[in-house]
Amino acid sequence: RYIPSGAMAPTLKAGDRILINKTAYLATTPQRGDIVTFVAPEAAVTVCLAGADSSSTNTVFIKRIVGLPGEQVEIRNQQVLINGQPIEEPYILEKSDYQYGPKTVLANSYFVLGDSRNNSCDSHYWGFVPKANITGKAT
């Protein structure tokens, strides 16, 4: 898979090529920290790809899972909080310059963010990713 933007920098840079394990979640569930590919929900296409016809696109995004089903996610004072507790994120390029939530991740859904927090159109803009949309795990 080709990386089209810098939204996952510094982990993945624009132009990088990666392998996707499409069977990774047949026997397990996605975990916090996993980098996943997914078919962008309609809201993501509308917000991130202005002008695209969301009914005819199968746009695939790649992001990192930060929030799991049932968890409360908040971004406050440049820190991601899960159920009120800060999480360690050694992989991010810069801390978030925005606030989010708190919001509870829906059942069978995930909250995803790009590692380049201030250069990523992700869950803080358009909401959660249904598990059914996840197409694989970056390896």
* Inside any domain, residue 5: no
* Inside any domain, residue 32: yes
Question: 119 lies in which domain range?
Answer: 20-69+105-138
Greater model confidence, 77 or 139: 77
pLDDT the model gives residue 53: 55
* Inside any domain, residue 81: no
**What is the average per-residue pLDDT within 86-99?**
94
Percentage, residues of the chain above pLDDT 90: 83
* Inside any domain, residue 126: yes
> What is the 3-class SS of the chain, one letter each residue?
CECCCCCCCCCCCCCCECCEECCCCCCCCCCCCCEEEEECCHHHHHHHCCCCCCCCCCCEEEEEEEECCCCEEEEECCEEEECCEECCCCCCCECCCCCEEEEECCCCEEEEECCEHHHCCCHHHHCCEEHHHEEEEEC
pLDDT the model gives residue 57: 59
* Inside any domain, residue 94: no
pLDDT the model gives residue 52: 56
* Inside any domain, residue 26: yes
Total domains in the fold of the chain: 1
* Inside any domain, residue 42: yes
Give the global pTM: 0.93
The CATH number assigned to the domain holding 35 equals 2.10.109.10
* Inside any domain, residue 121: yes
